[in-house]
Structures are given as C-alpha cells and as structure tokens.
Structure 1
Amino acid sequence: MARFPAYAPEYRIEIDGEPIPPALRGCVSRISHTDGIQGADRVEISVANPDLRWLDHPLLQVDNGFTLALGYAPDPLERVFVGEITGINASFPNGGMPTLTIVAHDFLQRLTIGTKDRGFMLNLPAIGHFPLPDALVTSLVSATNLLVPLNDPVGAALSFLTLVMAYAVSPLEAKKGVRLQQAESDFDFLSRIAKDNGWEMYIDHTQEPQGSVLRFQFLVQDYAPSVGLAWGQSLSEFTPRLTTVGQVLGVSARVWLPSIKTEVVVILSWDYDRAAFDLRIFPGLGALEGVVGPAEARKLLTVEAVGPATMPKKLLSELLPRLNNRLTGSGSTVGNLAVKAGRVIDLQGLGDQFSGLYRITSATHTIDGGGFKTSFEARKEVWFGSIPTPKGVGGLARVNGQGIG
C-alpha cells in the first residue's frame, strides 16, 4: 500500500520581533489569516484566558508589531503576514472560560487615518499646471506613509500613455486630469486612482521588505495559475454564482474635442470572439440609437460626459468590474498557502461552465481544532474563457512542494 507523508499544521507568531512565550502559545485555540485585493489583510487569534492571566499583558497591546508564519511541520514555515495589533476583544462568559481575541491588520490600514487636501501637478513654463502620471502619484503617496510602491509595469505604461494621448488631443482638457485629493484619506484617494486604471491595490507580503510593499497590479496580463484544484480530490467544495444583473455589452461616453470643435461618441466593449477590448469612435450626431442601433444601445452603459484626459480611464473603470463579476464563487481546500489573493487558480471537475481559471479575490487560512483549512473567494474574469488550461496543472494541489490529491 502506498504511504503518503503526514502533515502537521504549524505556525509561528512574533510580537515586536520576538516569538510569543510558550505559555501564551499553549493558550492559542484558533488562528485565522485573511488576505484580499480590497482593504487591509487581517489576522485574528483566539486565546484562552484562564484566571485572566493575559488580560492587560504588555505583549497584547495595540500598536505592537505582529508577524505570522504558517505551514506544515517539518517543512520551513512561510511568513504570510507583517503588521501590527489594532484591536483586543475580551469575552467574560457566565460559567465559561474567558477569552481574548487579538486582531491585527497590515500597514495598509495606516492610510485610512485622517484626510488631506492637496493636488499633484507640475508647473511647466508656457503651459501651467500639468497632471503627474498616476504611477508617480501613487508612488509619492505611498512613500509619505512609509510604504514601498510597486507599480505594475504594464499598468503604469498604459496610464502614462493615456495621459500623453490626452495632451496630444487637447492640452487644455489634459490639464483637467490633475489629481486632486479633497477631504479624502490616502486609502480612499489611492483606491480611486486604482479603480480608474483597472488596478488592484494591496500589501504584497511576498515581497521584501515584507509588510511594506504596496502593490498596484494590473491584472489583465496575469494569467498563470499558482495552484490547481479538482472537485472530489483536492477541492473540498465550491459554490459558483452566475448572474447577469448589472451586465452590459459596453460603456459609452460623449466627448467634446476642443481642438477640432467636434463631439464624438466613444464606446469601449469586450469582443468575446477575439477575447480583446474593442474601442470604437463615432461622430456624435443624434441619439446613441442612431449611431449603433436600438438593440446594441439598450446593452450599453452611458456614463456622464468626460474630457479626453479622463475618458479612457473612466470607460475602463466602469467596464472592468461589470465584466469580471458575472461569475464568482467560493470554495475551500486543505490548508494551502499557494491560494493567495490576486493569484490565479485552476478549478477542475466542475463542468464546462464552472471549470477553468479564476482570480482569487480573498483567501482565509485557518488553524484550529479541526486542522488547517483554506477557504477562498474567486471570480472568473472575462478573458479567462479564451485561455486554455496550462498542461501539468490538472487537479493536483501542492503544499510546500509536495503533491496531495
């Protein structure tokens, strides 16, 4: 009979750079780590508190540094979280064991503190105020919060290209693209820029220095799956959700071009046959129905008039979420750290419609009395339908380099 290696879930918690004492480790009953591509990553630690021995303990205080590593013994553990304690919740039940819940967030939560009023522009001779590229704006704001910006090269290049094109079409309109932060937190401001460019913003704990790298990732060009799971084998369960609510064929806007004194209709849509974006420009004469026909016009989302400087980003930010939220789902598997937010997962054994590549939007890794479990939320992005499953992925999940089926 074939023998399979036995895996024992293991973890390491450090507070202010030091491993927690054995007495505290012995009282830990549950660990939950959630990472996502929206908002700060979060860790919750449940601690038994007999005789209130951990209440008011100096280790368990807000603002203390906190790191978490997970994995399986005897393999090396992977440090999955670097942040700080942000909350302590206590429970004093009637007749039961008192408990503490330690809550930690990554450094992205620092961006939510306070609001600012400022603009990001260059003062050029004979031109005046000119907008800074969005990749530079995100870098400046990240640096002021002691975070290291990591801009995706493709996304940054596209953002800069749209700015150059806007200036070529209409310098006056391009000036309206100056980024203004008005009574906004840095988190809300950066989130708005990320949405406009089709980026996801999150702390990338796989990059050095861990916990301090703020990533702006353009997901359109990231297709390679990090893990493959098959239902009935490595995929414990999966619940897909398919909806047409809020779905549109494309997004349209009317744009006035001052340089040629002409209004045009711009339509950005997704071509399912070619698996590519389709950008069309028509003279802005009459109603939209007269430009593309009544049938197509009913399936287009019309956004408010924008200038050439902001039009491409406006259309993209409205279309992308609608394309990618048509098919979503949630699932679970045995504890697997290859399941991370932002990565691609290959799901098999779910039929033609629900199998294939998905983007992981959040992942939760839990160690408790039931062992090590990973649950996740995912979305089937529209371009995944035209991408064949890479050979060799199949239904094999991998944990620290070892295959489990």
Structure 2
Amino acid sequence: MSLAPAYAPEIRLLLAGRPVPAALRGSVASVTATCGFGDADRLEATLANEALRWLDHDLLRLDTAVELWLGYAPDQPERVFAGEVVGSQATFPGSGMPTLTVIAQDRRTRLAAAAPSRWFGVPVPHLGTMPLPDVAVAPLLALEHGLLPVIDPLGALLSAALGAVEAAASLDDPTLRQRIVRTQAGASSLDFLQQIAAENAWEIAIDHAADPGGLVLSLMSPGGHLAPEMTLRYGHSLIDFMPRFSTVGQIVKVTARVWQPSIRLELTVSVGYDWDRQSLDIEVSPGFGLPGGPKSTEVMLLDEPISPANAPRVVLGKLLPRLNRRLTATGSCVGNAAVRAGHVLRIEGVGETYGGLWRVTSATQTVDSGGWRTSFEARKEIWFGAIPAPAQGAVRIQGGLLSLPADG
C-alpha cells in the first residue's frame, strides 16, 4: 500500500480569475494571507523582480482580483483569500535581487472608504419615524458595496429580541423612538457596521471559502457555533501556543444611568458577569451609585446617553467584548486551511486552565522557502463556560503527567 505524502502543499495563486503564468509563479518568494474579525483581510505576495520584469506588469494593476488557494496533494486546495490589489511596494537594493510586494485586501476596504451621512428609519403615519431593524440595516450596508451578507439564525433571533425590547420601551414615547433610529454621521460604513455588530453580539468576517469568492460577508453569533472544527495537540500538531490572561477582562460589570420618563426617575442599571457561576447578573436601583459593593475597580461607567430602549444593546456591546478578551492566545501549527476566523479549535496537552475550546479571531497563512505554516490568534469565550472542561479536552496535568478522563 502506497501512502500519499502527508505534507506536500498545493498552492494556487490566481490573478484576474486565472492561474498566474508559470514565469510569475516561479518568481514568488513568499505569500502571506491574514484573515480575521473586523477590519479588512490582507494578502502580501513578494516577487523576485529580476531585471524589474514585474514592475509595471498588467496583471499586477490596482483592483485586479486576487485569490489564494492552499491545501495538500492529492486533495483539492481550499480558497483562503479572495480580494483585490490595493497597492505594491518595491525594493531596489544596492546589491542583491530587487523585489516587488503586491498587496491585496478584501472588499471591506470599500466600506472603510465610504462615510455618508444618513439615518435608517421608515416614516409611519400617526407614529412618526420607526427604526429599521438591525437585521435590515446591516445587510444594506454590505449590499451597497457589492458584498453578500449572511446572518446566522441565532444572530438574527438575538437581534430580533433586542429590537422587540426597543419597540416595547418606545411604544408610547415618540421622542424615544426617534433616538433609537440608527444614524450614520461622521463614521465610515465599516465602523458603523462594527458598532451594529457589537450591539447585537455579532462578529464580522469574510467567508473566503464560499462562492462567490471574497463576496460573502458573515455576520455570525459566536454563541451558535461551539463545536470544534479541528483538534490541535501540543507536542504533535500544535507547534507552539502562548495563552495569556489580560486585566482588561477584569472589568466584569457595566453600569449606566437610565432615565425613565414614565415615572420621572433616574435608574442605575448594572450588568455583570459572575466568573464562578458563569452567569450574567442584572441589578437595578433608583438614583446613581455603584451596586454590588465597593469593587469600583471592576465597574465601567457609561457616559453616553442611555434609555430603556437602547440600554440592552449598549451594555451588550460594551460588556461582552471585554469578557471575551480575558483569556487570549497566539499559536501556530503546520499549514492548515481549516484554521480561520470564527472556527473553534480544541487545544489539548496544555493543561486544564489553558486547554479546551478556543475561538480563532485571526489566522495567518504563510508560504515561503520554509514551506506552509499557519499562525493564529484566539480567545476563550464565555459561551464555552457551559461545556464541562473534560468534554472540551481540557485535562489537568498532575505531577508532570497528563491526567486522562476515565473514558480515555
């Protein structure tokens, strides 16, 4: 029985929808693609520019479509990046080979460049202007720049529930209804979309593997995606792993002043997270103070205007990102296209505290003379707290020996 080589990378670089010519492919010294949540993904391809042959080549013009596919023979490679050329950098050394680095980014750069002033509401007779729901506003922002938005079921359900709270709170208050209409003023469309995503517990990523390449914008709710896509084990498939605790995550309570016009009273609303019980706690009290005792170092106060209608969104957008930054990590493994933003990794062999499920927030695929390798950034999310540590693959190490669960 013959076995296919385990690590024979298959690399395809496409320009303008076609494989690059053999001469250009032979000049590629390295390719790096970084894809993650939030801002635009980026690809850099460095070419050996012998006799300056690639300096003004038509295939490397601005706005040329670029795709990078990676995998292992004999399997078909997977698309890990699709975007457009946005720039280039050249070196002309006194000695040695000149180089040309071609830079490409995904279409989120178009959202970052647009900053119109507008509001998102619908005039309704006898009711005034009613706010468009976020499940409509976010797709509109994507569609006007040629992106195809996809909101997962949990994300849509959570957004609808938050919208229902807004609608109920503002039903008898026309002024309040006007205040919760989404208004874009002085912010780029990308920043505006990121604000909407944060207040709905969504993450923004381009799904490069989906067709059409580079155009599918995923608005995902991480709480609905908890199953690991792959397992990495330290000493085997995991080359290195560096987890770290951050004091940022120690801010575990958000406190805001909310004016309730129906009773003409200012309320103090605090939402916090109990790490021991792994649950959200909500406290409401009249006047302004710091509920929960003297632990003021754990409280973040909101200075922006808060109303009963938008309080849940604002608190969610401030609290959740900080909770999920409490435990973060960087790591690397042999090249693997399955390591990408939004996917869940099961990390084994690093003990109970640092092992288990991690969400990839950014992945970098690098191909050069050393082969193909993948580095990533990841975070421990509060959603994983509902899954027992042994079921996650988080096993305590005792006396230098790995303590395996009873079934393994």
TM value normalised by structure 1: 0.91
For 1:302, the equivalent position in structure 2 comes to 301
- The 1:3/1:28 distance shift into structure 2, 3 A limit, reads same
Aligned to 1:349: 349
Deviations 1:374-399 (A, max 9, x none): 0001111133244236869799xxxx
| Amino acid across the alignment from 1:377 | E
Counterpart position of 1:280:
283
Q: CA deviation at 1:16?
A: 0.9
The alpha-carbon deviation at position 192 of structure 1 amounts to: 1.6
Rounded to whole Å, the distance in 2 between the matches of 1:299 and 1:14 is 50
Worse overlay, 252-261 or 386-395: 386-395
Q: 1:165-184 CA deviation, whole Å, 9 max, x = no partner?
A: 22322333233111111132
User: Is residue 382 of structure 2 the alignment partner of residue 379 of structure 1?
Assistant: no
Q: Distance in 1 between matches of 2:142 and 2:345?
A: 29
- Contact conserved, 1:174 with 1:308, CA < 8 A, in 2? no
Deviation at 1:209, TM superposition (A): 2.1
Matched, 1:80 2:83: no
Contact 1:329 1:379 in 2 (8 A): yes
CA gap 1:63/1:390 in 2 versus in 1, 3 angstroms: farther
Letter in 1 for 2:310: T
Aligned to 1:156: 156
- Give the Cα–Cα distance (whole angstroms) in 1 for the partners of residues 297 and 375 of structure 2: 38
Per-residue Cα deviation, 1:284-314 (whole angstroms, up to 9, x for no partner): 14x424x43334x552222124012211111
Contact 2:346 2:392 in 1 (8 A): no
Letter in 2 for 1:205: H
Contact 1:229-1:394 within 8 A present in 2 as well: no
Q: Distance in 2 between matches of 1:72 and 1:98?
A: 31
Relative to 1, partners in 2 of residues 1:79 and 1:236: Cα closer, same or farther, differing over 3 Å?
same
Whole-Å separation in 2 of the counterparts to 1:329 and 1:118 = 39
User: Using a 3 Å threshold, how does the CA distance of structure 1 residues 35 and 16 change in structure 2: closer, same or farther?
Assistant: same
Q: What percentage of residue pairs aligned between the two structures are identical?
A: 45
Q: Is this contact kept in 1: 2:356–2:392, CA < 8 A?
A: no
Which residue of 255, 258, 266 corresponds with 2:258? Answer: 255
User: Is the contact between residue 267 and residue 279 of structure 1 (CA under 8 Å) also seen in structure 2?
Assistant: yes
**What residue number does 1:398 align with?**
none
2:63 aligned with 1:63: yes
Distance 1:311 1:394 in 2: 36
Q: Determine if contact 1:142/1:149 at 8 Å carries over to the other structure.
A: yes
For residues 390 and 186 of structure 1, what CA distance do their matches in structure 2 show? 43
Equivalent AA in structure 2 for residue 302 of structure 1: L
Deviation at 1:257, TM superposition (A): 1.7
Residue in structure 1 matched with residue 358 of structure 2 by the alignment: 358
1:277 is paired with a residue of what secondary structure? Answer: strand
CA distance in 2, matches of 1:4, 1:205: 27
Q: Is the 8 A contact 1:83 1:105 kept in 2?
A: yes
Aligned 1:5-404 pairs, distance under 5 A? 5-171=5-171, 172=173, 173-245=176-248, 247-282=250-285, 284-285=286-287, 287-289=288-290, 291-295=291-295, 297-304=296-303, 305-388=305-388
**CA pair 279-208 structure 1, distance change in 2 beyond 3 A:** farther
Cα 1:140–1:4 change in 2 (3 A) is closer
Please give the alpha-carbon distance, in whole angstroms, between the structure 2 residues aligned to 1:138 and 1:120: 10
Do the aligned partners of 1:228 and 1:393 also contact (CA within 8 Å) in 2? no
Instruction: Report how far residue 116 of structure 1 moved.
Output: 0.5
Q: Distance between the aligned counterparts of 1:3 and 1:212, measured in 2?
A: 37
Distance 1:139 1:79, change over 3 A: same
8 Å CA contact 1:30–1:46 kept in 2: the answer is: yes
SS at match of 2:300: strand
Asked if the contact 1:46/1:99 (under 8 Å) is kept, the reply is yes
1:177 partner amino acid: I
- CA distance in structure 1 between the partners assigned to 2:95 and 2:390 by the alignment: 56
Give, in whole Å, the separation in 1 of the partners of 2:133 and 2:368. Answer: 46
**Alpha-carbon distance, 1:279 to partner:** 2.7
Q: Deviations over 1:95-138 (max 9, x none)?
A: 11011111111111111223201110010111101111111001
Aligned length: 390
Once residues 283 and 325 of structure 2 are traced to their aligned partners in structure 1, the CA distance between those partners, rounded to angstroms, is: 24
AA paired with 2:88?
A: I
Once the two structures are TM-superposed, the CA of residue 201 in structure 1 deviates from its matched residue by 1.1
- TM-score, normalising length: structure 2: 0.90
Q: Which runs of 5+ in 1 are unaligned?
A: 396-405
Q: CA deviation at 1:61?
A: 1.0
For residues 281 and 221 of structure 1, do their structure 2 counterparts lie closer, same or farther at Cα, with a shift above 3 Å needed? farther
Aligned mates of 2:392, 2:195 — CA distance in 1:
39
SS, match of residue 146 in structure 2? coil
Residue matched to 2:403 = none
Q: Tell me, which stretches of 5 or more residues in structure 2 are unaligned?
A: 396-408
**Structure 1 Cα separation of the partners of residues 309 and 20 of structure 2:** 53
Range moving further from structure 2, 255-264 or 325-334: 255-264
Q: Partner of 1:89: helix, strand, or coil?
A: strand
**Letter in structure 2 aligned against 1:253:** A
Q: Are 2:205 and 2:341, in contact at CA under 8 Å, matched by a contact in 1?
A: no
SS class of match (2:94): coil
